[in-house]
Structure 1
Amino acid sequence: MKKLFTIILYKPILLVSFFFAAAQGLYGQTLVHGTITDAKTKETLPFVTVTFVGGKQGASSDNQGKYRLVSNSNYTQIRITYVGFKTEIKSVEPGKEQTINIALTEDRQLLNEVVVKSGKKPKYRNKNNPAVELIRQVIDHKEKNRLESYDYAEYRQYELLNFYLSNLSDKFKNKRIFKNYQFLFREQDSTAIGGKILLPIYMEEKLSQNYYRKSPYAKKQVIEANKQVKYDESFIDNQGLSSYFNRLYQNIDIYDNNIQLVTNQLLSPIADHSPDFYKFFITDTLKDQSPQLIELSFTPRNTNDLLFAGKLYVTMDGNYAVEKAVLTVNKHINLNFVRQMQTILSFEKNGDGKYHLSQSDLKMEFALNKNKGGGMFGERKVIIDSFLMNSPRPKPTYDGPEQVFAANSENKDNHYWEANRPDTLAPEKAGIYKNIDSLQTIASVKRTMDWVTLGLAGYKNFGAFETGPASTFYSFNPVEGFRVRLGGRSTPELSKRYYFETYGAYGTKDERFKYFLSSTYSLNNKSIYSFPQNYIRASFQHDTKIPGQELQFVQEDNFLLSFKRGENDMWLYNNIFRLDYVHEYDNHFSYKVGFKNWGQSPAGALYFQNVIGNNVNNINTVKTTELSLELRYAPHETFYQGKIYRVPIVDRYPIFTLRYNQGVKNFFGGQYNYQNLTGNITKRFYLSQLGYSDVIVEGNYIFGKVPFPLMDIHHANQTYSLQLDSYNLMNFQEFVSDHYASINIDHNFNGFFFNKVPLLKKLKLREIIDFKGLWGGVRSENNPANDPLLLKYPINSTTGLPVTYTLNNGPYMEGSFGIGNIFRLIRVDLVRRFTYLDNPEVSKWGIRARVKFDF
């Protein structure tokens, strides 16, 4: 008999409502109390069910594992039940008060499929399946059982986040560098998540008061106390580390249709269409509970899909609420680097009969190899108490940002934490704060952190200054030949308010020096990369540039971008002075005011020419002066926050950007008057099991008369890397516009189709499609064919054919089909260009690749 599914449970937590039956009898009162612990870890177990055998009286242990059970009846035994642990029965003496402490052992018995002895296994069907009928009742009652069903709610929340290097070998533990630091390691059962030997590397605790209001919608968290491991700021940004770990271990809401896990969304087992993707089985009925519970087990129909496996415990009191959920993922799931995962959600009954989340415990282990070797294990535990419903607070309580830190929240002493933690912190965890400080004193650990920083960030730290990025030290191009560059930036060790960046470069072919200088001053006494930003920056750059290419997250002289297809000999020498002021607000609205003085001189095969009379006139420099204003609104935006960088995390919320540039003639040498208006909307759309789409819509209009270098030179890509924000089969400077509209759709199916193909699903590949469309043109007033004083579009000096075109003959379109997750890092796309195929030196087909670390 084959097992249909296997669910292994670790330390589950079952929350059961208090139910007391008052019965009068001839016997004295029987009072039993004590503490319930995990026999293996010795940790206390909250919300364990304790009942008298043969009766209805029951209770559950509190957050400290303490229970109290009382009855006037003549019971002689108590039953202790806890999902995932073996049921214990203890004898008691009737009519007496007694203390009985209980240590529960885990029950690792695997769930087997229920088989009808007919010689043939029945086919699983949704129709006439009582388990499916039950889950549909849960789905129908979702809205009335979630937090959002209340007009107002508030509660107190405690969070504990731990991270460890996991599954370490005895050889690693016994290395000479740890000879005097054996106290750092934590031993546990080798069958548990994380393996036998753990090395703590991070810990964080939070105590907060939380407020919810339905209309107008508001959700606010006031963090009253926050405590975390602190690393040497020379290597690690502690705020960024906290943001990253909290991003990996987010809150899980079982009532959401899709649940965020790491960077993916998994379909909830109680999503609207979950019976189409899950198999459900009724595996137990807990009749000695009040209310009675049904144990509902579930497993994916396709084990490679982004789905959970586990159990739900559903109340049979008419609410059809989830009182407990145990979620895991199987080893075949198309989820990178996740070796094991388990989350346990417990819910508590309110006075109105509804349920709210009272505790969650999420454990995950990450590793390069899912079957063996070391990894990283993390656990996030959340306890919610003091839940209050429909008690409105004054309006200012709900105003302001979603998360605020109370004054002195990071300065609470140990006495405060001991008095306010809702759960006792195990001694081995309480010592982590001190132990990490000891770990950082090891010289070899410091050296390792230094080299890891260089390898990942590309910078070598020298205290107040760091040099890099290493990928730009050497590159080459047709104009400069071999290019060497050396630069760096200041660090918060020098100052959190002042920030400097510089580099110098030299080309062996053009024999010219290039350089960049930048100085930034923070106006809010925070790092300029910390949210919310408020700074002023001045910079000057004298360097080369490909027209129309402005790479945001990759240095333009990155060595890997030196390799390009086709001709690439039209460049610019730029002199750019910028002065910018940036101000972000807590609601994620920001504005940027700028001044830019820009001189562009042609380099390589590029030239600036117009016609005066019958004579061709060479222009050495096009100079402009711009005043700019940028408005940006990014609701709920979060970042991967580094020490001196931050990267926005793509989420389902849209980002709106509006930019206005005003060219001013005769101001600091500016030669043109014009206005440039650009609007941009970016959003990720999650489509459940069909993956997600990243969509960018943009429009632009230039008012005024300008030469082609001041138009929008559309972002092209002649490298062999796949660039999502560029047109990958468009040549540099191929198209210019003074007005345009564009759409960019990149859809990742997350392996939805490949997971159904037997030969492909083991490779865990992911299919991707991409489409880019660009509609634009040049008005007659800006067409050099109509005005000889305007700069002529460049012509290839060898072939005599035009290099630059307009989009007046229709849109530019390209699309691609990609295969992602190759070796869990590489995406390769086959790109097809659909329009303007008659332009010279263009490619109809191309193969592009990019490296992306993805879960």
Structure 2
Amino acid sequence: MVFRFWSKAYLCVFILHIAVLNAYSQTSSISGRVVDRSGNPLAFVSVELLGSMHGTSTDTAGIYQLKAVGSSTQIKFSYVGFKSLVKNIVPGKEQILNVRLDEEDNSLQEVSVKGKKHRSYSNRENPAVELIRQVIAHKHENEAQHYDFLQYQQYERIQFSLSNMPSGIAGKKMLSPYRFVFENIDSTKIQGKTVIPVFMEEKLSDNYYRKDPEKTIQIMKAEKSVDFGKYLDQKGMTVYLNRMYNVVDIYAPNIFIVSNEFLSPLADVAPTFYKYFIQDTITTSDNEKLVEMHFFPRNKTDLLFKGKLWITLDGNYAVKKVELGLSKDINLNWVREMTVTQDFERNPDGRYHLSRNSMKADFGMLPQKGAGIYGERVVYYSDYHVNVPALAEVYQGSTLQSNTSLTKDNQSLLLESKRPDTLSAAEAKVYSNIDSLQRIPSFRHTMSITAAFTSGFKTAGPVEIGPISTFYSFNPLEGTRLRLGGRTTTAFSPRVYLESYGAYGFQDQQWKYLLSAAYAFNNKSIYTFPFHYLKASYQKDTEIPGQQVAFAQSDNFLLSFKRGDNDKWIYSDVLKTDYIHEFSNHFSYSLGFKNWKQRPAGTLEYYTLDEGQKTPVADLTTSELSLELRWAPHEQLFQGKMYRTTIPSKYPIMTLRFVSGLKGVLNSDYSYQNMMLNVSKRFYLSQLGYSDFMVEGMQIFGQLPYPLLTIHNANQSYTYQPYAYNMMNFMEFVTDHYVSLNFEHKFNGFFLNKIPLIRKLKFREIVGLKMLYGGIRSENDPVLHPSLLAYPLNGNDRSSTYSLGNSPYAELNVGLGNIFRIIRLDAVKRLTYLDHPDVVKLGIRASMKFDL
């Protein structure tokens, strides 16, 4: 009897055990599509099986696919700004489940407060607003800058993938050499979509912060990256991408993302622009009590976030977790979806420190369909040490330092050992795949041609031929102008750099040329930061007096098209030597010597009217020494092959220049001095856009003919030039002292986004003002001193060059940007000196720019 009893008992247990194993071994396969109530797909929606560790997210088409082993009977869909939804499923079966999520702010237009039945949303007596004000009041205590000293280790990874590529692309015959790349599909990032990793960069660093005097030090310990350096400025690209995918400081008043500043939901004024709702109270497995709070913009078209905050109730009022999303109604280009997630961990001191920052974005030409680019930057923080000062010498170095003691292989091993997460199979292959790709001749040829058109130079072994845009141009003096030039690269020598070109004008039948040589003291290219070189050059060419072209060569083909008269030129022979030294903190100085001989050309004549007699002057010659000091704190650069561009930021840039003329040196006829100061700065105004200011002042000491004074930069092309006077004629104004203001504000669609139908076009409003105030001292006035060169005359024998009078020169522009996402049109109105000959009072100017 006993034996039979235990036999049956064991049999029951065995059967029960088998049943349990069977239940937990059931494989569920659920797929479907998530849309909003209008039927638009929702990307990056979190999909999780309740009671398990399995989950995924939707792709940009709203599609998800989830396979998991277990007995879960419910699946949950959650997304920033939408009500979470729980659906029942049948374990162990393949099923299709399409769902629709409702926006949360529409369902929470009314709240219950203190027993009152219903009322419309209000900050007054709203417990959610009261709680958020407590978070705002305590945010300085929860910021990392609250500590006197802070140390931590940081791992970061940024990667980009081709997304939503056409099906069957790997089978295309013309792409057969690249098949191994297109078959490296990652299904873990965006489920149900073709995602092909093409770029990845990893970094591991030690970071130190000191409060007084404030300084932040980052010491790079290991780096690994896909290398496209032969075709673009990879360092500058990384800087730009890191800025786009900026690590969010949730406690900051404004948060910079992509290319704009968004008002933080924890800014002091945030309750004026956001709505807050308490959704739930949660107790974590660590017995932490949190409040889940949802927030939404009061106006969906403003540069504001929607999302969720998890706030601690331990008296710190700290953020434990945050999810940020963007409304589809804001004025951003190419951005299909973007989400930011941050996690904070409690440290032994009771404070919460950032442990993980993840930003995901999907970009594409079309709102939801078509190929695009998926990007992700994830940053992990660990090993925090608070109020423990590092050795004094740590804080004496530059802001960004590199530990160069490890080889590339050892850096790779260190990254693998310190990587907080695991790379997917596709991610792990991206380094080797791209390295193999660059060994394919057809790929190298294609990239070389692409780089030539984007950079302006075609690489040919140790030299570069270009700029391509200057090969052909035309002007009234030279007629058709042909030019061919080039320069050496680091493949020729890491220290010696040569540059030259030859040009011929078929109308004036004269040759022009440049001969230049430079020596780099830092064993780096003289075209990349930081500069440290000595350069000597001799150039014989033509110029328009006063014209300074930004981001282009003066003989660029597109600048051949000009309005009005363009017949006053000079032949210029310039001998120059320059020594330039830049430092890692973006302070630089340069010493220069310049001997300049200029001869009038076209209809321009140099002559004096001393004693009423017109006496021609064949040429002018000057020699001068110069010293320039420049400081651009926290400057970030994107380096092209012709120009480098400062990535705009809130920090000012200051330039101070001294010049002294040397009479008698190399036939120089004049002695003079001048001093110039230029300060520029961008001011971000959150959802109101941003303003760019530039103020410049200059003073010349000494008696000089007008060509050696300041001939102000005019623009007679049909393009809009940001640093030129777009309604001023060439050689119209000359001064020996002046103060100028260049102001431009971009509203980023703040007003137009609020107009129905118009907001779908995503136009952006621009206003600007340029003012110039100055004049000429009596000693430099050719009317009072006829021995000086007389001002030139136009075809009607009227003077076409003037000194500024008692009123400033001013022009106002009102622009419409982001037309077809790339075109900008400005109506430019000239406000003063309208009685001058050949004046155009109002003009339309165009420009192009790719901007997010």
TM tier relative to shorter chain = 0.7 to 0.9
- Tell me which residue corresponds to 2:293: 296
* 1:429 Cα deviation from its structure 2 partner: 1.7
Separation in 2 of the partners of 1:81 and 1:215?
48
* 1:355 Cα deviation from its structure 2 partner: 1.2
* 1:556 Cα deviation from its structure 2 partner: 0.6
- Tell me which residue corresponds to 1:330: 327
* 1:431 Cα deviation from its structure 2 partner: 1.9
Q: What are the superposed Cα offsets for residues 274-327 of structure 1, whole Å, 9 maximum, x if unpaired?
A: 222222222222134632111112222332322222211111222221111111
* 1:265 Cα deviation from its structure 2 partner: 1.3
Separation in 2 of the partners of 1:108 and 1:343?
23
Q: What are the superposed Cα offsets for residues 239-286 of structure 1, whole Å, 9 maximum, x if unpaired?
A: 334333323322221111111112211221212222222222222221
Change (3 A) 1:3 1:484: closer
Are 2:560 and 1:562 aligned?
yes
Separation in 1 of the partners of 2:306 and 2:103?
12
- Tell me which residue corresponds to 2:418: 420
* 1:634 Cα deviation from its structure 2 partner: 0.5
Are 2:337 and 1:340 aligned?
yes
- Give the 5 Å matches for 1:422-501: 422-501=420-499
Of stretches 256-265 and 649-658 in structure 1, the one that deviates more from structure 2 is 256-265
Are 2:394 and 1:392 aligned?
no
Change (3 A) 1:638 1:356: same
Q: What are the superposed Cα offsets for residues 347-403 of structure 1, whole Å, 9 maximum, x if unpaired?
A: 111223221111011111222222211111111111100011111123221122211
- Give the 5 Å matches for 1:324-723: 324-409=321-406, 411-413=408-410, 414-642=412-640, 645-723=643-721
Q: What are the superposed Cα offsets for residues 492-516 of structure 1, whole Å, 9 maximum, x if unpaired?
A: 3222322222222111211111112
Supply the AA of the counterpart residue of 1:516. Answer: L
The gaps in structure 2 that reach 5 residues or longer are 1-35, 58-71, 89-96
- Tell me which residue corresponds to 2:220: 223
* 1:438 Cα deviation from its structure 2 partner: 1.6
SS of 2:614's equivalent in the other structure is: strand
Change (3 A) 1:123 1:443: farther
Q: TM-score, normalised by structure 1?
A: 0.86
**Kept in 2: contact 1:154–1:210 (CA 8 A):** yes
Separation in 2 of the partners of 1:189 and 1:785?
78
- Tell me which residue corresponds to 1:62: none
Q: What are the superposed Cα offsets for residues 800-828 of structure 1, whole Å, 9 maximum, x if unpaired?
A: 11110001332111111111111111111
Separation in 1 of the partners of 2:601 and 2:828?
30
**Kept in 2: contact 1:8–1:110 (CA 8 A):** no
SS of 1:416's equivalent in the other structure is: helix
- Tell me which residue corresponds to 1:250: 246
- Tell me which residue corresponds to 1:131: 128
Supply the AA of the counterpart residue of 1:664. Answer: L
* 1:117 Cα deviation from its structure 2 partner: 12
Change (3 A) 1:399 1:177: farther
2:256 to 255, 260, 265: 260
SS of 1:376's equivalent in the other structure is: strand
Supply the AA of the counterpart residue of 1:262. Answer: V
SS of 1:841's equivalent in the other structure is: coil
* 1:773 Cα deviation from its structure 2 partner: 1.0
Q: What are the superposed Cα offsets for residues 98-130 of structure 1, whole Å, 9 maximum, x if unpaired?
A: xxxxxxx99996654247699x99643333333
Supply the AA of the counterpart residue of 2:339. Answer: Q
Instruction: Calculate the aligned-residue CA RMSD, in Å.
Output: 3.0
More helix by share: 2
- Tell me which residue corresponds to 2:3: none
Change (3 A) 1:478 1:5: closer
**Kept in 1: contact 2:711–2:734 (CA 8 A):** yes
SS of 1:835's equivalent in the other structure is: coil
Are 2:738 and 1:747 aligned?
no
Change (3 A) 1:121 1:725: farther
* 1:538 Cα deviation from its structure 2 partner: 1.2
Are 2:731 and 1:733 aligned?
yes
SS of 2:446's equivalent in the other structure is: helix
**Kept in 2: contact 1:7–1:328 (CA 8 A):** no
**Kept in 2: contact 1:7–1:310 (CA 8 A):** no
- Tell me which residue corresponds to 2:6: none
* 1:408 Cα deviation from its structure 2 partner: 3.3
SS of 2:328's equivalent in the other structure is: coil
SS of 2:721's equivalent in the other structure is: coil
2:279 to 276, 283, 286: 283
In percent, how many aligned pairs have the same letter? 48
Of stretches 170-179 and 809-818 in structure 1, the one that deviates more from structure 2 is 170-179
Q: TM-score, normalised by structure 2?
A: 0.86
Change (3 A) 1:36 1:442: farther
* 1:669 Cα deviation from its structure 2 partner: 1.1
**Kept in 2: contact 1:8–1:108 (CA 8 A):** no
**Kept in 1: contact 2:341–2:358 (CA 8 A):** yes
SS of 1:755's equivalent in the other structure is: helix
Separation in 2 of the partners of 1:246 and 1:776?
42
**Kept in 2: contact 1:678–1:699 (CA 8 A):** yes
- Give the 5 Å matches for 1:40-55: 40=56
**Kept in 2: contact 1:243–1:641 (CA 8 A):** no
* 1:666 Cα deviation from its structure 2 partner: 0.4
Q: What are the superposed Cα offsets for residues 3-54 of structure 1, whole Å, 9 maximum, x if unpaired?
A: 99998655699xxxxxxxxxxxxxxxxxxxxx9965559xxxxxxxxxxxxx
SS of 2:450's equivalent in the other structure is: helix
* 1:702 Cα deviation from its structure 2 partner: 0.2
**Kept in 2: contact 1:226–1:410 (CA 8 A):** no
Of stretches 475-484 and 718-727 in structure 1, the one that deviates more from structure 2 is 475-484
Change (3 A) 1:630 1:108: farther
Are 2:834 and 1:840 aligned?
no
* 1:238 Cα deviation from its structure 2 partner: 3.5
* 1:425 Cα deviation from its structure 2 partner: 2.9
**Kept in 1: contact 2:336–2:367 (CA 8 A):** yes
Q: What are the superposed Cα offsets for residues 470-522 of structure 1, whole Å, 9 maximum, x if unpaired?
A: 22222211111121222222223222322222222111211111112222221
* 1:466 Cα deviation from its structure 2 partner: 2.1
- Tell me which residue corresponds to 1:58: none
Change (3 A) 1:40 1:132: closer
Supply the AA of the counterpart residue of 2:431. Answer: Y
Of stretches 250-259 and 126-135 in structure 1, the one that deviates more from structure 2 is 126-135
**Kept in 1: contact 2:47–2:75 (CA 8 A):** no
SS of 1:144's equivalent in the other structure is: helix
Q: Aligned residue pairs: how many?
A: 779
Separation in 1 of the partners of 2:165 and 2:118?
43
Separation in 2 of the partners of 1:456 and 1:406?
34
Separation in 2 of the partners of 1:603 and 1:82?
74
Separation in 2 of the partners of 1:338 and 1:418?
32
Of stretches 732-741 and 176-185 in structure 1, the one that deviates more from structure 2 is 176-185
**Kept in 2: contact 1:345–1:359 (CA 8 A):** yes
Of stretches 777-786 and 128-137 in structure 1, the one that deviates more from structure 2 is 128-137
- Give the 5 Å matches for 1:7-406: 9=44, 38-40=54-56, 112=104, 113-114=107-108, 123-179=120-176, 182-184=179-181, 185-188=183-186, 193=190, 196-231=193-228, 233-288=229-284, 290-406=287-403
Change (3 A) 1:255 1:471: same
Separation in 2 of the partners of 1:142 and 1:479?
65
The gaps in structure 1 that reach 5 residues or longer are 14-34, 42-76, 90-104
Supply the AA of the counterpart residue of 2:770. Answer: K
